[in-house]
Structure 1
Amino acid sequence: MFLRVCVRMVQLIALSALAAPSLLAAALAGRRSRNRLAAGVARLLERFGGAFIKAGQLLATRADLVGVPLAEALGRLHDEVRPMTEAQARATVAASFAEAPAFIAAAVSAPPVASGSIACVYQARMGERDLAVKVRRPGIAAAFAADIAIVTSMARALSRLPWLRRVPMAEIAEQLGASLMGQLDFAKELRHLGRLRDDLADVAGVVVPSAVEELSAGGVITMEFVDGLDRRTAGELTDGARQACVVRLVGAVYRLLFVTGFIHVDLHQGNVYFRRDGSVVVLDAGFMFQLGETARERFTQFFSGMIRGDGEFCANILLSTVRRMEPDADLESFRKEAAALVERSAGAVAGDFELAAFAVELFDLQRRNRLFAEPEFVFPLLSLLSLEGAVRRWYPSMDFQIEAAPYVMHGLLLADPAVT
């Protein structure tokens, strides 16, 4: 692994050096070259490959933070990454089945309908059924493992800095790394897809494709083909239709967060589509995370306090989630500052509330008052950050907190009395 990481570091440095002159020139050219700079950054992340494409996909969900030109340029990393060759796809299919179904072998001879960081998706037809065949890229596991090792090492180094000493940088990097590596396990993703479909079955207007287990193996997942998936559709809908889609998506995410604790961490535009019939399609169950029951209940309780604007209650919930504290931790100062932050933020509509800034300030409050944060909560925050990007773009007047109320109530009713 050490040699692989060294080789990967050299590769990243070399690619950065090659791209630096054009990126610098575009940056110095000012506003008139913003699109060229954005396209250059997207190309560089695509050339990096591996986990860096995942980072670009997350950034693409936040046009409000990175700007529209960069978000749009990064948007193609969701499903328009350079595809694997036909020979590579055929090799993965051949290695996955003792005898590959003929229709799958034929499907991968055509260009894919979508191409992401981990796999390409091909449209296939078996009799009267239209199917989607997801084929894992060869060698992707080695690239991801090296990238995660690099990021984890950087996180450990950063955690030694005085102002980051109480932020669980290494633990967050390790948990994220384990979850990212879990995306490469297609047998696990197959199980997750079934569970995601079950968990969202009661959310009206939300579609999760069903897997075809008997046609899935190794690095191949076969599922029903869902038609009408186009990232441009969201921008072409009427305001009312688009807002209805946002409400459905928010409901789906809140059910996962507060009721089942089974979190979809990868809610970028390549995995969530609005369709012209008003339905919302949620794809790809690779990057999922199961919150522990105590963590789910604490997170739900905190959100219930946000809805009520009860800062003191939220501060106490946060204190109950602290992993550890230093002997001179200032609990009263934390309670007072956290309560004030919650009360300032309560009741804000999506366009006026910035989750990223809110989360950063919470982490900073814990750090300054010598408390060590719980790293598990980074997963619901990542899910909400992606969701918030869509809401702020398409329905900024939505009351993000009030929409959560029925799901929070449901989640609270499930709580273990021993925990609450």
Structure 2
Amino acid sequence: MSDRNSLGGRVKRYAQVSTAVGGLAARLAGERYLGIDLDRSRHAAELTQALGGLKGPLMKVAQILSTIPDALPKEYAQELSQLQANAPAMGWPFVKRRMASELGPDWQAKFGSFEKEAARAASLGQVHRATGKDGQRLACKLQYPDMSSAVEADLKQLRLIFSLYGRYDGAIETGEIHAELAARLREELDYVREAKHLALYRRMLASETGVHVPDVVPDLSTDRLLTMSWLEGEPVMSVADAPQDVRNAVAMNMFRAWYRPFYGYGVIHGDPHLGNYAVRPDQTVNLLDFGCIRVFPARFVGGVIDLYWALSRDDEALAIHAYETWGFKNLNREVIDTLNLWARFLYAPLLENRARRIQEAATGEFGREVAEKVHGELKRLGGVTPPREFVFMDRAAIGLGAVFMRLKADLNWYELFHDLIRDFDVAALEQRQGALLDEVGLPRPA
């Protein structure tokens, strides 16, 4: 069974998703061009139900899009956010064939034990518990067949959705969002690259005692099978009702797990999905999935810090410099003021030197109300094209913010942030980043 990108695989995938996506296209087009009154909430629920039965990248893309402000109408974002990564697992006959294709017909002899039932099934593959010949507890992440074809087919359907929504709305030009999603999804299929991501994170977080990263077992790994040490932990929400100090400790460790790599090395974990981390009894956290990793040019990180100082000091010239560093074009006062609305929302917890919740407004969704206001203004002003780097930067900020809200974490985010950016220097970051990427065998950012 070939896992390569094939015409037959793509055609099969088109048939699977075209009904759901075609329905979305027809209805959005009807609302836009024919004046048809579309019940978006009901249609979004139907779309979610249709996509929820599929494995593969379209489900993952739907989850990602639900957390990117203005990538889709809010009715669709709210529904798609309910898609769960735990799809039904493939059965034992499938697993045996897949493992034999990766490690050879005698693959079982290479393990001390291998559990037939998957411990976790997600959008691109499933994880099995195992033990090595030496008794080490292992996690075997096995990719589903024909995922390359599925990715290409789903990305084509996604381009159709974006194209129709762009004609319908126009506040956000989605070409760069699609390009970024496409690049990251294709990378996620390469488990050799993911193994390098693990090595990268083990080095970046070596001094972080509150964060744990698995070890890779190279002899039991291929480009579609990744075998790692098994890390025990409970879901993050298992501490949602724990004492305040416990919730604060978990939130602090998660903050450092995401932002120590970003401000120290220009690297961010782009998928803060609840299934991608776990909590230990001592409130330290395990990071469990490294397929979606974004490496930023040092100048982009510098722009993030420049905008912080611009907002802190009401320095309009520095704000303009930050936006231009990221690649925003044709800026005027109204566009800058509108972008600053979103920036002030994201940076708000970092601008106050006191313990506080990540969001103090009494709202159930992190950022949705602000995003809608920004969206309306950008639409009125003719729209903008967000740089592609923003897709996973925004996703990390919004995803983590939502978790911090659910934990009701009460921390001095200002102090945590300033501890990370103290003595920041773009040239030093670029040198440090380049040396580490060379060491683990990953390409430097353009």
**TM-score normalised by structure 1 residue count:** 0.78
Answer whether contact 1:45 1:53 (CA < 8 A) is retained. Answer: yes
Q: What are the superposed Cα offsets for residues 340-370 of structure 1, whole Å, 9 maximum, x if unpaired? A: 6656775444123744555662895498277
Q: Where do 1:110-121 residues align within 5 Å?
A: 110-121=116-127
CA 1:295–1:277 in structure 2 vs 1: closer, same or farther (change >3 Å)?
same
| Cα offset, 1:338, TM superposition | 4.5
What is residue 153 of structure 1 aligned with on the other side? 160
1:210 is aligned, of 215, 220, 230, to 215
Residue 373 of structure 2 is aligned to residue 368 of structure 1: no
| AA partner of residue 368 (structure 1) | L
Residue 208 of structure 2 is aligned to residue 195 of structure 1: no
Take 1:45 and 1:259, find their aligned partners in 2: how far apart are those partners?
38
Gaps of 5+ in 1: 19-27
2:188 is aligned, of 172, 183, 206, to 183
Take 1:213 and 1:118, find their aligned partners in 2: how far apart are those partners?
21
Residue 152 of structure 2 is aligned to residue 139 of structure 1: no
Answer whether contact 1:264 1:383 (CA < 8 A) is retained. Answer: yes
Answer whether contact 1:119 1:136 (CA < 8 A) is retained. Answer: yes
Q: What are the superposed Cα offsets for residues 88-147 of structure 1, whole Å, 9 maximum, x if unpaired? A: 211221111246542567855520111111111111112331111111111222222211
What is residue 321 of structure 1 aligned with on the other side? 326
| Cα offset, 1:230, TM superposition | 3.6
Q: Say which is worse superposed, 345-354 or 403-412, in terms of deviation.
A: 345-354
Q: Say which is worse superposed, 307-316 or 213-222, in terms of deviation.
A: 307-316
What is residue 393 of structure 1 aligned with on the other side? 406
What is residue 23 of structure 1 aligned with on the other side? none
Runs of 4+ that moved beyond 6 A: 15-18, 59-62, 69-72
CA 1:388–1:336 in structure 2 vs 1: closer, same or farther (change >3 Å)?
closer
Take 1:344 and 1:46, find their aligned partners in 2: how far apart are those partners?
32
CA 1:368–1:58 in structure 2 vs 1: closer, same or farther (change >3 Å)?
same
Q: Where do 1:229-244 residues align within 5 Å?
A: 229-235=234-240, 237-244=242-249
Gaps of 5+ in 2: 1-5, 24-38, 69-73, 350-356, 432-446
1:351 is aligned, of 359, 367, 380, to 359
Q: Where do 1:262-411 residues align within 5 Å?
A: 262-306=267-311, 310=315, 313-325=318-330, 331-338=332-339, 347-348=348-349, 349-352=357-360, 354-355=366-367, 358=370, 361=374, 365=378, 368=381, 372-411=385-424
Q: CA RMSD in A?
A: 3.9
Answer whether contact 1:264 1:285 (CA < 8 A) is retained. Answer: yes
Take 1:312 and 1:399, find their aligned partners in 2: how far apart are those partners?
28
CA 1:386–1:105 in structure 2 vs 1: closer, same or farther (change >3 Å)?
same
Take 1:394 and 1:116, find their aligned partners in 2: how far apart are those partners?
24
Q: What are the superposed Cα offsets for residues 4-23 of structure 1, whole Å, 9 maximum, x if unpaired? A: 666544423556899xxxxx
| AA partner of residue 351 (structure 1) | Q
Secondary structure of the residue aligned to 1:289 is strand
What is residue 129 of structure 1 aligned with on the other side? 136
Aligned length: 389
CA 1:50–1:297 in structure 2 vs 1: closer, same or farther (change >3 Å)?
same
Secondary structure of the residue aligned to 1:211 is coil
Secondary structure of the residue aligned to 2:130 is strand
Residue 95 of structure 2 is aligned to residue 94 of structure 1: no
Answer whether contact 2:91 2:117 (CA < 8 A) is retained. Answer: no
Answer whether contact 1:130 1:225 (CA < 8 A) is retained. Answer: yes
| AA partner of residue 86 (structure 1) | W
Take 2:308 and 2:7, find their aligned partners in 1: how far apart are those partners?
43
Identity of matched residues, %: 20
| AA partner of residue 51 (structure 1) | P
| AA partner of residue 110 (structure 1) | K
